[in-house]
Chains A and B, each alone.
Chain A
Amino acid sequence: MSMEIAIPQTVERENYLNKEYGVWSWLLTTDHKRIALLYLVSITFFFFIGGFFALLIRLELLTPAGDLVQADTYNKLFTMHGMVMVFFFLIPSIPAVLGNFLVPMMVGAKDLAFPRINLLSWYLYIIGGAIMLHCMLTGGVDTGWTFYTPFSTNFTNTKIVEAGIAIFIAGFSSILTGLNFVVTIHRMRAPGMTWSRLPLFIWAHYATSIIQLLGTPVIAITIVLVACERALHLGIFDPKLGGDPLLFQHLFWFYSHPAVYIMILPSMGVITEIIACFSRKRIFGYHFVAFSSIAIAVFGFLVWAHHMFVAGISIYSALVFSFLSYAVALPSAIKVFNWTATLYKGSIHYDAPMLYAFGFLGLFTMGGLTGLFLAALGLDVHVHDTYFVIAHFHYIMVGGAVMGYLGGMHFWWPKISGKLYPEGWARLAALIVFIGFNLTFFPQFVLGYMGMPRRYYDYSHMPEFQVLNVLSTAGATVLGVGYLLPMIYFLWSMRYGKPASDNPWNAAGLEWKTASPPPTFNFDEEPVVTWEAYNYDELDAPPQKQEVTVG
């Protein structure tokens, strides 16, 4: 690693961080890098709110009796945990922070295609978030993040409409970000940056953006319909008025299943970059990894009804959806095999980002394989609505998406902040997160298989579940520490960290060929790309052959 080669700098270069100061220079910025940081702060805020709810849930489940909170409060806790984490943390996490920061730089552009729309999408997110906060502070919602009818439309007295408005607005933030990425990736690539030279991070974001464009409007419609049904009793979902209650579940999962891919695909993109860099190899099967992202986006839209196997859909459609759910495992498996094949005979470096990538590989594989259990018609009946499902999707959405997010934050932190984070602490944090995560969620697989239903706050009729629940709660505490650590040392490094060179990892990719932190328009002159992606063999070649690069 070339970390020790410090570039002598007498005067600090002008970059996107020190170009302007003051609140308005941030709140009115159209610089994609500053907007990425605005998102970083906002999603971190919501992450800790969602985490706080999770902590209360785990504390309640520490003992079999429902003694910490009341049943209604517990319902609100898991609902708000889900809504905040899904809509205000996971969905915007990698695309809006790392994607916003990196997509223009990786394709060699000055900014996104629509910088003002980019700022607008942050404001939409903030407006949605503020409404959600208000909703939480004034009572919250108790339907579960899934808004299932008829409870949400005919029975609950909680703030469905307000939460719906919040998610509706935040959804448009997601749609606009997706639109911006699609157009940027198509129209703003630097000369020579062909599609097959794009980093796979970009392919992953392209696939994600298509899902955002196509899927998010559907959840918006669905929420509007729920609100209309609730306020006006139109008879859309209520069978008494000629409606169809299953229609809601179809619509909801038509978005919310692909939404999982909105969370995991960008994370896969991050992991691809990290694995290539820290194995010092071109990624194995570039085109397979690229097209498997598109395949996931396409197949991801055809599996939604596997959430409804016990809801009364016809056995024939259940069979088809079961089959398609198996099919969507194929592109994911292609990725996992290609990553491990990239590691093979690689020169592997165990820096913190790579530790997160390893964590991702193991946890995502477990999450994916247990997904196959749930896609199996018979087994799903047994574990439906149990902690098995909870554990499964947390392995994907936390073990997968959040590990990727943290790995990416570490990998690109020198570029974002211009400072190095403390490597020792970072490795420790990665280890703590991995251990804490498994301790939290592995026992839940067992609990679910043994029959503990999700969303119960009191399991005193089954006191033998307590041991595993105590393990899980202990794990959640460890996990909490693991998440706090990076926040602390990232903040610390902004002030006290060593300055980072332009390319501390000696990584491939255009974003490493400009300064750290980058200037406002990313590159001092328009880059011209003449090399293939992941040209680590060239980068690691003896220095006399190395090309002189701008930066």
Chain B
Amino acid sequence: MIGTKYNSISAAGVVLAVTVLSLCASAQINSGITSPPVNERPPLLQNVGIEQHLDAQIPPDLAFVDDAGRPVKLGDYFGRKPLILNLVYLNCTMLCGQELAGLASAMRLIKFDAGNEFEVITVSFDPRETPAMAAAKKKDYVGRYGRANAAAGWHFLTGQAPAIDALTKAVGFQYQYDSKTNQYAHATAIMVLTPQGRISRYLYGVDFPPKDLRLGLVEASQEKIGNPVDAVLLYCYHYNPETGKYGAVISNILRLAGAVTILIIGGMLLILWRLDRSATRKAESKISTYAQ
């Protein structure tokens, strides 16, 4: 896996008191993991990477088996809540475990509950894996996540090669089997889907900033979940497909800071003018007493 380094800006816009408006941009240099073009990859990784298909529809009729052994279609999960989709294989000894652990710990840090505000679908792309293995993994990660109701909101699916192929093609997930090690070479990313099953965001890596996860879910839900603070944050942070992260939009932060400054100073002047009017009335009566 070759990671190209991108710097993403994370800036915290801080508005201080009336007079004190200052913006502090804090550095957060993240290495977004994205795939270089195919012709620049080493031979072994020629077919490994993620090709973004933003806004593509996931085929709803793909058949899988869930962790309880019931046959399901992907479309069964669509239509209600934003979804997080990730592709792993359960026997993976390297990245997949880290990815699932990273997802679980990021989900622990956001207020939304899997099962309430959103759902998670973890699909194994190894056709040899079984619902029993899926159930074991589910028990492990739902336990780590540790929220009530999570078992109903986090689905571990396994399935046959045709469905897996169709799904991985739809999301642009490219992987390669290495028979020497009996392992797959693959990239890691989670996909945030809209409730209708369209791909809204790709978040790369094995470690997902909770802010990105939350903002991704809020955006995927078309802001049906979340609060006004998220709306402000989404004004200041935009998704950057190149890095797969949310980065600060400095000009919007500045606009916002400017508006807040004007409101504060305008408010101060308004109050002063109102106080002034009453003071003038008092002073006039005082002068008329002098005159008498």
Contact = CB atoms under 8 A, between A and B. Distances in A.
Contacts of B265: 210, 213-214
A235 B7 contact: yes
A349 interface: no
B275 A187 contact: yes
Interface string B9-44: 101000000111111110100000000000000000
Interface string B253-292: 0100110011001001100110110011001001100100
B9 A191 contact: no
B74 interface: no
Given A236-B250, A242-B9, A224 B22 contact: yes
A214 B275 contact: no
Given A182-B272, A242-B9, A234 B287 contact: no
B292 to A, nearest CB: 14
A225 interface: yes
Contact of B290 (A220, A242, A528): A528
A96 to B, nearest CB: 16
Nearest to B251: A247
A241 interface: yes
Contact of A225 (B25, B247, B258, B290): B25
Nearest to A179: B19
- Interface band, chain A: 35 or more
Contact of B250 (A186, A247, A530): A247
Contacts of A189: 279, 283
B283 A217 contact: no
A192 B276 contact: no
Contacts of A194: 280
A182 B269 contact: yes
Contacts of A233: 7
Interface residues of B, number: 34
Interface string A223-257: 01100100011111000011110010001000000
A377 to B, nearest CB: 25
Contacts of A178: 19
Nearest to A216: B19
B276 to A, nearest CB: 5
Given A224-B22, A234-B9, A236-B9, A251 B254 contact: yes
B54 to A, nearest CB: 19
A178 B18 CA distance: 12
B287 A191 contact: yes
A213 B262 CA distance: 10
Nearest to A240: B7
A221 B254 contact: yes
Chain B at the A interface: mostly helix, strand, loop or mixed?
helix
B23 A235 contact: no
Nearest to A529: B287
A228 B7 CA distance: 14
A481 B211 CA distance: 63
Interface string A161-196: 000000000001001101100110011010110100
A241 B242 CA distance: 12
A217 B9 contact: no
A221 B261 CA distance: 12
B206 to A, nearest CB: 24
Given A191-B283, A214-B265, A242 B247 contact: yes
A178 B25 CA distance: 27
Contacts of B258: 218
Given A186-B273, A217-B261, A234 B25 contact: yes
Contacts of B280: 194
B277 to A, nearest CB: 10
A192 B269 CA distance: 21
Contacts of B20: 172, 175, 217
B261 A224 contact: no
A220 B9 contact: no
Interface string B107-149: 0000000000000000000000000000000000000000000
B21 A530 contact: no
Given A232-B27, A233-B7, A234-B27, A186 B262 contact: no
Contact of A213 (B18, B23, B275): B18
Nearest to A228: B25
B287 A236 contact: no
A217 B254 contact: no
A452 B20 CA distance: 41
A247 B19 CA distance: 22
Contacts of A528: 286-287, 290
Contacts of B23: 221, 224-225
B19 A217 contact: yes
Contacts of B279: 187, 189
Contacts of A172: 19-20
B151 to A, nearest CB: 41
Given A187-B272, A194-B280, A221-B22, A214 B261 contact: yes
Contacts of B275: 186-187
Nearest to B240: A242
A236 B25 contact: yes
A183 B9 contact: no
Nearest to A175: B19
Most buried by B among A186, A233, A530: A186
A247 B290 CA distance: 58
B11 A234 contact: yes
Contacts of B18: 179, 213
A221 B19 contact: no
A299 to B, nearest CB: 16
B5 to A, nearest CB: 11
A241 B7 contact: yes
A116 to B, nearest CB: 15
Nearest to A251: B254
Contacts of A228: 24-25, 27
A242 B240 CA distance: 11
B22 A244 contact: no
B19 A243 contact: no
B285 to A, nearest CB: 10
- In the A-B complex, the 3 residue pairs with the closest CB atoms: A217-B21, A186-B272, A232-B27
Interface of B: 7, 9, 11, 18-25, 27, 240, 247, 250-251, 254, 257-258, 261-262, 265, 268-269, 272-273, 275-276, 279-280, 283, 286-287, 290
Given A214-B262, A218-B258, A247-B251, 18 more contacts: A175-B19, A175-B20, A186-B272, A187-B279, A189-B279, A216-B19, A228-B24, A232-B25, A233-B7, A234-B7, A234-B11, A234-B27, A235-B9, A236-B25, A242-B247, A244-B250, A247-B250, A528-B287
21 contacts: A179-B19, A186-B272, A187-B279, A192-B283, A214-B265, A217-B20, A217-B261, A218-B258, A220-B22, A224-B24, A228-B25, A232-B27, A233-B7, A234-B27, A235-B7, A236-B11, A236-B250, A241-B9, A244-B250, A251-B254, A530-B287
